[in-house]
Amino acid sequence: MTKSILKIALDVPLDRLFDYLANDTNIQIGHRVLVPFGRREQIGIVIDVSSVSEVNPEKLKPIKQAFVKEAPLDAEMLGLVKFSADYYQYPYGQALLSALPARLRQIAPAASRKQYAYLLTEVGRLVNIDEIPKRQRILREVLAAMQLKTRLTESDLDAISSSARKAAKALVALSYANTEQVLATPRIALAPIVPEPELNTEQAAAVALISREISTFKPWLLHGVTGSGKTEVYMRLMQKVLQEAQAQILVLVPEINLTPQLEARFRSRFPQFTLISLHSSLSESERLHHWQLAQSGAAHIIIGTRLSIFTPIPNLKLIVIDEEHDNSYKQQDSMRYHARDVALVRAKRLNIPVVLGSATPALESWHNATANLNANKYNLLRLKQRAVSAAQLPQINCIDTTKVHLQHGLTPQLIAALKLRLQRQEQSLLFINRRGYSPVLLCSACHWIAPCTRCSSKLVVHLGQRKLRCHHCGHEQRIPHQCPSCGNADLHPTGHGTQRLEQTLAQLLPAARIARVDRDSISRKHALVEILDRVHNQEIDILVGTQMLAKGHDFPNLTLVGVIDTDSALHSPDFRASERLFAQLMQVSGRAGRADKPGQVLIQTAFPDHPLFNALRIQDYESYANTLLQEREQVQFPPFVFTALLRAEANEYALVQKFLQFAFAHARHLSDAVMTYDPVRPQMERLKGMERGYILMHAQQRPALQKLLAELVVTLRADKLANKVRWAIDVNPLEF
């Protein structure tokens, strides 16, 4: 009998499948297998089972092991990863394996937490409860519950009594019940059930419009001011979708920090449905378990960060993308996909709706929703009012730092506003997007600034640890006692970071309870949740934090937001910098005055009359976005052209330059429809000890760029020079 030939995707940098002989007739497409590859063994995924091979079958190696007891990956997930790998010019095998939980990439069966379910036998169905003695009360209760429900899990039994599992085993011994293994559902304390708030006119209209087309593909851009109740719109739509048996919903969030608050809100609204989260803070076993619950259909609501878009979800009926403008949805290494764009492709393939919510949509999304484009672009829905009737948008004022004396980086107006909130027992948030104590260590004599030896950047002062640290590569060193350049002992931390601002506030306002939220302060698991709980319990007066505090959080008693330093972004060479800054400031401003108390935002800047601040004062995203789009159209920047970068890095720039010159010449030869620019160095010329360069390509039509990239990648992979540099294609890059 001829053995089947398996075409298998492996985690190797080669864009091809590998043929092996099957040793098990139960192997299906999507199964994990263990195969010999060179001198080692690797986990692979079966992509095809056939009887044909380009290689003589006698020369093929058999697989070592097939994990046929595990559920195979479904065709929908395999197809989505294949599309993404082709579009983003990345080897399919590497893309597929990287989309799996770490436990599924290891050479072992996927061990996950199991629990038992107890099912009545035919004998058990006919048993009269009265035949069991009344003294065996728990046994009677378990049998009655089983006759009512037929099948009880261990969680169901625990809800009856702590000794109910023992009673269930007694029923098995009497042949009244059988057992089977099932995936355990997460044991999480139920959140208090919160009554549904009444929708305002705009919310009700948005829910009605989307509900009419809830069973078809349509992208909806929900543009709502901060506090306008976008989450309530999501929940009403989820409620409608979950009425369908076994329906599943995927909710994408940009960062882990937003999951606890969303989880709590969803659990209180949907206590009867299984909800899981998928993000990098989970342990490997937790992530695998949650992933399997989604794959099996047992999880009804899946909340996750960008990688969750590749999770197998067999009954997916709705995708929600919260804060759709956020850059965190773009993967910056390996396969450089954008989760929002992949979500749109997935929704179209499944013919389901996708809802994108933001107070400051990405310009690409805004263009798709407002320009006169072809069909299947976005449908725009606006929420212009805050959901709480008494809540008003905060008053935004700019403080000209050139006309006042700063006290440790703070203006007198901001200090006075902080003192006023303390008197009123209201809360404040100070936003500074720079962690550490200060951004540079400066010599007062020769103006030496502590550099990173591995990056084209400066070392940040972390005074508490007496260390200088690079926030790009992680390099650390002790703070020197004297200048390495001139020997001067007068070294000054210059500028402000979150740590210095926290210290300054403690000196200025000794009675204030202050908490700092940045990557350094919340490295411990659950640290952020604990801080947010303290804020809600009125145990914190002033929050100091970076952008992780700028979005998604709802603090009813927070009435003041102070923005410390944003001017560097106003004149950045990055053409997206002003768009990002406007979104960031709108988001952080939206934390103020979300309940019945008026909010105020004070922005410290040397450029108070900048057009960005003028638009921000009146909360006019639409006009500012349209102005930016006009500017981009004039200079032919995205979204009016389609772009890609060929990035390269090596220990020596000469190698990078030689490789990029070869790629540049070949790209120019391949296509006249794509504009290919000369190789250049990025602003960060050296990163983590590697010298860097890139080539920019852009085209008026997406197919022309994709055709060029597909042909160029084949040529580059075949060239010997490509083995001497680390290179990657970045399609639709966010950073140039």
CATH number for 315: 3.40.50.300
CATH at 692: 3.30.70.600
Output the pTM of the full model. Answer: 0.87
Query: Is residue 324 domain-shared with residue 286, that is, in the same domain?
Result: yes
Number of domains in the chain: 5
Q: What's the confidence (pLDDT) of residue 259?
A: 77
Does residue 125 sit within a domain?
Answer: yes
Q: Which residues contact 259 (CB under 8 A, 6 or more apart)?
A: 253, 277, 279, 303, 304, 305
Within a domain: 596:
yes
Choosing from 383, 414, 446, the residue where a domain stops is: 383
Of 304-318, 327-341, 449-463, 653-667, least confident by mean pLDDT is 449-463
Confidence of residue 497 (pLDDT cuts 50, 70, 90): confident
Domain assignment present for residue 555? The answer is yes
Torsion sign over Cα 571, 575, 576, 582: positive
Q: Are residues 234 and 340 in the same domain?
A: yes
What sections of 671-701 are H helices per DSSP? none
Domain boundary among 350, 383, 416: 383
Is the domain of 617 the same as that of 658? no
> What are the tens digits of pLDDT across the range 464-491?
888 999 988 989 999 998 999 999 988 9
pLDDT for res 1: 46
Q: Are residues 407 and 545 in the same domain?
A: yes
Rounded to whole angstroms, the Cα distance separating 467 from 596 reads: 44
Q: Is there a domain that residue 490 lies in?
A: no
The closest of 256, 270, 280, 322 to 300, measured between CA atoms, is 270
Does the pLDDT of residue 55 top 90, yes or no? no
**Position 153 in a domain:** yes
Local confidence band at 563 (pLDDT 50, 70, 90 cut-offs): very high
Mean pLDDT over residues 256-264, rounded? 80
Percentage of the chain modeled with pLDDT above 70: 95
| In a shared domain, residues 125 and 99 | no
Same domain, 242 and 309: yes
The string of pLDDT tens digits covering residues 59-103 is 889 999 999 989 999 999 999 999 999 999 999 999 999 999 999
Residue 216 has pLDDT above 80, yes or no: yes
* Closest by CA position to 615, among listed 655, 592, 586: 586
Which residues, other chains included, contact 21 with Cβ-Cβ below 8 Å and sequence gap of 6+? 3, 4, 5, 6, 57, 60, 61, 62, 63
Cα 122 from Cα 308, distance rounded (Å): 42
Domain boundaries, position 319: 201-383
Determine the average pLDDT of the residues in 525-547. Answer: 84
Residue 407's pLDDT is: 86
Asked if residue 411 and residue 376 are part of one domain, the reply reads no
Last residue of a domain, one of 631, 661, 695: 631
**Would you say residue 175 has pLDDT above 90?**
no
Contact 326, 554 (CB under 8 A): no
- How would you list the strands of the sheet with 5-10, edge to edge? 18-21, 5-10, 40-50, 32-37, 65-66
Same domain, 364 and 428: no
614, two tokens: 């003028």
User: What's the mean pLDDT when you consider all of the chain?
Assistant: 89
Q: How confident is the model at residue 189 (pLDDT cuts 50, 70, 90)?
A: very low
Q: 500 in a domain, yes or no?
A: yes
Query: CA 427, 432, 437: angle at the middle one, nearest 5?
Result: 110
Mean pLDDT of all residues in 269-284: 89
Q: What is the CATH number of the domain that holds 100?
A: 3.40.1440.60
Residue pLDDT, tens place only, 407-445: 888 999 999 999 999 999 999 999 988 888 888 899 989
pLDDT at position 496 is 83
Q: At 151, phi and psi to the nearest 5? A: -135, 125
Per the model's pLDDT, the better-predicted residue between 296 and 150 turns out to be 296
